Amino acid sequence: MHEMVPGKRFDRYHELGQHAFGDKLGLWIVVPQQLICEVGVDIVYMVTGGKSLHKIHDLVCHKNCKNIKTTYFIMIFGSVHFVLSHLPNFNSISGISLAAAIMSFSYSTIAWGASVDKRIHEHGHRHEYGYKATTLAGTVFNFLNALGDVAFAYAGHNVVLEIQATIPSTPEKPSKGPMWRGVLAAYIVVALCYFPVALIGFWVFGNTVHDNILVTLNKPTWLIVTANMFVVIHVIGSYQLYAMPVFDMIETVMVKKLRFKPSWVMRFAVRNVYVGEHNTTLNAKELERQLDMVSFGNANFKVNLSKFLRRN
């Protein structure tokens, strides 16, 4: 897709959309969907980072420390991005992305390894492996939720053109060669990370496993704390990966449409407002609650919908 037209590169998804559907329609088709995906993923990463920090706190200081709401840990996690968001482009976050990839492989290995250890020491404890939901509506929504989890695991397609745009390309050596090899390597690594966790996690915990298996595990304490710290580092890098195209879109509109002068002041304002909006405009606790409510796997939502379907 990046170089499908000779002599022209599509460095952004909206450029590809404009080529396919026209200048105006292409923007309206592509940009809203891409923004929903990227901003939504950033919100999920912020909540995930906060929950992992909360888990670390609870494991390390479970007796003598005051209980702190997840809200504050989400805000602590978000504060990191007031600094990192001022990195200029994808090339500047390559080191962070590499660290995030290493952390992903590390905490995934810890997750399934600790799960196997738990299974060994359970001494015959039985788990249920059937459908968790008791109604047809609940089963359908759990199925859809599972599909969403799979799509989220491979969410890198949201920024694939922006990433390929950073690779030098010539007619003799087009960028699609190294990009294709990179995509294959990335998806293989993702599969190595997630398939063992999914299969072993279900084997050990059955249908009671949490969406984040590290929340289910508590021992050995030092290892689970380490794994959750790896998760925090991973989502810090991933947040920046999905935020960078959003920054690019906003700054492009401000310069080309609103006639702002390109400067560090404009960049400082745009990026701080984006990060701050996640931290302050929306109450973090309310955000966490809403994420649970809109999840297809939420029990209250399923029960209420099931009652509605039976009445109608």
Please write the tens of the pLDDT for every residue from 184-215: 887 888 888 888 888 888 787 777 776 667 76
Is residue 123's pLDDT more than 70? Answer: no
Q: Find all residues with CB under 8 Å of 117, minimum gap 6, and list them.
A: 220
The pLDDT value recorded for residue 275 is: 80
The range of the structural domain enclosing residue 185 comes to 13-311
- The answer to whether the CB of 175 falls within 8 A of the CB of 167 is yes
N-to-C CA span, the chain: 47
The pLDDT value recorded for residue 309 is: 39
Is residue 136's pLDDT more than 80? Answer: yes
Confidence of residue 301 (pLDDT cuts 50, 70, 90): very low
The pLDDT value recorded for residue 300 is: 41
Q: Residue 8 falls within a domain, yes or no?
A: no
pLDDT tens per residue across span 40-72: 888 888 888 888 888 888 878 767 777 778 788
The sign one gets for the Cα dihedral 133, 137, 139, 144 is negative
Tally of domains in the chain: 1
Confidence of residue 310 (pLDDT cuts 50, 70, 90): very low
- The answer to whether the CB of 197 falls within 8 A of the CB of 210 is no
Q: Residue 2 falls within a domain, yes or no?
A: no
The pLDDT value recorded for residue 162 is: 74
The pLDDT value recorded for residue 122 is: 67
The pLDDT value recorded for residue 291 is: 52
The pLDDT value recorded for residue 312 is: 42
Q: Find all residues with CB under 8 Å of 50, minimum gap 6, and list them.
A: 70, 71, 73, 74, 75, 76, 77, 78, 284, 288
Is residue 32's pLDDT more than 80? Answer: yes
Confidence of residue 298 (pLDDT cuts 50, 70, 90): very low
Cis omega (within 30 of 0) on the bond before 6? no
pTM for the structure as a whole: 0.74
Q: Residue 1 falls within a domain, yes or no?
A: no
Q: Residue 183 falls within a domain, yes or no?
A: yes
Q: Residue 7 falls within a domain, yes or no?
A: no
Q: Residue 288 falls within a domain, yes or no?
A: yes
